[in-house]
Amino acid sequence: MDNSVSTQNSLVSVQNLSFSRGNKKIFDDISLEFERGKVTAIMGPSGTGKTTLLKLIGGQLFPEQGTVIVDDNNVHRLRRSELYNLRKRMGMLFQSGALLTDMNVFDNVAFPLREHTHLPESMIRTLVLMKLQAVGLRGARDLMPNELSGGMARRIALARAIALDPMMIMYDEPFTGQDPISKGALVHLIKSLNTILGLTSIIVSHDVQETAAIADYIYVISEGKVVGQGTPKEIEQSESDWVQQFMNGTADGPVHFHYPAKDYVDDLLSTGKRYS
Amino acid sequence: MQHTSTQDTFVGLFVASGIVGLFFLALQVSNLSSFTEHDSYTVTARFENSGGLKVKSPVSSAGVKIGKVSAISFDPKTYESVVQLSIDKQYNTLPDDTTASVFTAGLLGEQYVNLEAGGSDEYLKDGGKIEITQSAIILEKALGQFLFKSAEEKK
Amino acid sequence: MIELLQNLGKNTRTGFTKLGRGTFFLLQIISGILSVLPRPRLLLNQMYSVGVLSFLIITISGLFVGMVLGLQGYYILSDFGAEETLGVMVAASLVRELGPVVSALLFAGRAGSALTAEIGLMKATEQLSGMEMMAVDPIKRIISPRFLAGLLSMPLLAALFSAVGIIGGQMVGSGLLGVDEGAYWSQMQANIDFQDDIINGVIKSIVFGFVASWIALFEGYDAIPTSEGVSRATTRTVVNSAFSILGLDFILTALMFGDN
């Protein structure tokens, strides 16, 4: 089987992808392109399966239909060892940071280096300190993960994600639950890593302002479909009501405030304990 | 992983004490130390009836355990029970006219083979035969005989 | 009625799929063991948390179980005037049954539940997923070393339990109740067989260690990644391990001591 598929400018290309969980269709025939060296954002409300998309790209989940191509490899056709080799070149930043709780910050950042390389310990030390310096937390190397704030944990995780000098990084909700200072620090970090290291970045987020500030291109997803795409400017001027509601954060609009339910008055007047 | 060396010490201690425990069970608790199959020799004894004797039943002489029963089989030609006794090598001076009998330890205890030394100058060798045997006393048989006898006397 | 049948069918189906997942998981663990061997450090760290941390509970429990056996055995045996066989009774019950079974139950409660909670929380906090994305196989890196540690620790723990228990029985029997110490040991040595009793006991403990570690790791790996899911998985580990250990004990006993 020939796994190489050429796509001109895209590092990651998602083609006609469908995925469902149980009876719920999470993605319905969507296609996305992520250009090399650019920051591409995927936006949409919570629960639209944005994290699922990253796991599909990383080959942790299998789609029902469609293909995912990363650096000319069809991710879901690769053999296990090939997939693992590809993953060494893909960094991923989990929402929680996903630091290993039984080792300190230094060992966490050193973890991928120790697992995948046979570098001498002195070299590993230098590399780890460089990565920690890049995220501004060289002084925190002896702390344990439970001693870190959420923002620090994410920055450590970022240092770990770039430890093997990957070609791309996927950020899963990097700004969620961060105070403004941490958010600012992360925005700055993502942008500078992207330009300095020439990384391709994929950001999954629902934080409109921060994402719009650093993204080169934005896809807006809702109910398994792409409802809007373009540069941040184009998205802002989008005529879609849905996109407008999402970008401006109004309570009611095409997405209703109320979860689907039967008529309010009927519901209050009915006596039954169970919904039949 | 800061306390790696203390952890290692504890793991070492744990494994060592576990192995000591295993050796304790093998040598102090079980019969492994008393004698093994290798340093024993086998002799055969034929009984008219070996009663409740089993493989691993003790073989003793003068009340001391000197071996165990290693096999019991039935000879279809002579209708006898063929019992193989494996005896510890250190007791290799049993005369070849030794008597083997099946005894019971106590009234209801387990059955064992008792060897009573004779007066010969020749010793039993590996693969040798004990010619003089005395069968197990079957309680029902003995009881039956006793009742029969006393009934006859009354007549 | 139909609903009942439907439920039964559904439970059977989910039970079977779980068994299937568990078996597949076990195969993955076993194939991962090979990659643990060149990295003894991973195994040593787990031997510490699985074995060393269970050491105290096992030895103390073993001591008390042995002492109780000495006491109870003495009262019963002295009715028949057979106090000298106290050593046989204590040793046989410990080496054949109580040693492997009770230490396996304690192991499941102490180490098994901790393993499930640890793996479940690693899953809930995306540590396993994160490891996979770093191209590190969590089965090889996390699960297999723990499995191997459980497998190696269990026979050692069971042997310790039995050994300490036998000494405890002797302390009570000849120290407190006046059974002759020589008779205690000599009767024991005359009647406990190395192959039939000791080796079979060790085989039992290896089987129990295998099953208890497998269940604990699988429940953790299969847990729903929420705090409730992990707490349920931990409970299931203890319950399922206890059932499996006791059930297997019956089967193994029937196989080992049946044709005597």
Determine phi and psi for A166, rounding to 5 degrees. Answer: -75, 170
Determine phi and psi for B45, rounding to 5 degrees. Answer: -130, 140
Over residues B58-69, the mean pLDDT reads 84
- How many CB atoms neighbour CB A11 within 10 A? 22
The reply to whether residue A98 touches residue C126, judged by beta carbons under 8 angstroms, is yes
Residue A228, domain member (yes or no)? yes
CB proximity list for A225: less than 8 A, separation 6 or greater: A28, A29, A30
Residue of B nearest to C47 (CA): B11
Residue type, A110: A
The reply to whether residue A87 touches residue C132, judged by beta carbons under 8 angstroms, is yes
How far, CA to CA in Å, does C215 sit from each of A142, A237, B5, C210, C237? 35, 56, 31, 9, 6
Q: What is the least distance, in Å, from the CA of C181 to any CA of chain A? A: 49
pLDDT, tens only, A221-233 = 887 888 888 888 8
The reply to whether residue C137 touches residue A90, judged by beta carbons under 8 angstroms, is no
pLDDT at B14 over 70: yes
pLDDT value for C21: 92
pLDDT value for A225: 83
CATH number at A174 reads 3.40.50.300
Determine phi and psi for C153, rounding to 5 degrees. Answer: -75, -35
- Residue B1's pLDDT band (boundaries 50, 70, 90)? very low
pLDDT value for A3: 43
Helix C99-107 vs helix C227-257: angle between axes, to the nearest 10 degrees?
A: 170
**Whether the predicted model's global pTM rises above the 0.90 cut:** no
pLDDT value for B98: 87
pLDDT value for A30: 86
Strand, coil or helix: what is A218? strand
Residue A1, domain member (yes or no)? no
pLDDT value for A6: 46
E strand or H helix that includes residue B100: strand B99-104
Residue ranges of chain C with per-residue pLDDT less than 70 = 258-260
Residue of C nearest to B9 (CA): C48
Exposure string (b/e) for B78-95, b if CB count within 10 Å is 16 or more?
eebbebbbbbbeebeebb
pLDDT, tens only, B76-87 = 998 888 998 888
Residue ranges of chain A with per-residue pLDDT less than 50 = 1-6, 276
Q: What is the least distance, in Å, from the CA of B8 to any CA of chain C? A: 7
pLDDT value for A5: 45
Over residues B91-98, the mean pLDDT reads 85
More confident residue, C16 or B2: C16
pLDDT at B155 over 70: no
Domain map (residue ranges) of chain B: 1-33, 40-143
The reply to whether residue C141 touches residue A115, judged by beta carbons under 8 angstroms, is yes
- Residue B33's pLDDT band (boundaries 50, 70, 90)? low
Quick one: A124 exposed, middle or buried, by C-beta within 10 A (0-12, 13-18, 19+)?
A: middle
Neighbour subunits, A (≥3 Cβ pairs < 8 A): C
CB proximity list for A21: less than 8 A, separation 6 or greater: A49, A52
Q: Which among A244-253, B2-11, B69-78 has the top mean pLDDT?
A: B69-78
Q: Round the average pLDDT of chain B to a whole number and report it.
A: 82
CA distance C198 to B33: 13
Residue of C nearest to A83 (CA): C135
Placement of tokens 């130390």 in the chain: B33
pLDDT value for B135: 80
Residue type, A10: S
Q: How many domains does the structure of chain A reveal?
A: 1
CB C233 within 8 A of CB C116: yes
As for the ipTM of the complex, it is 0.82
Q: Which two tokens stand for residue A4?
A: 């190489």
CB proximity list for B120: less than 8 A, separation 6 or greater: B95, B96, B97
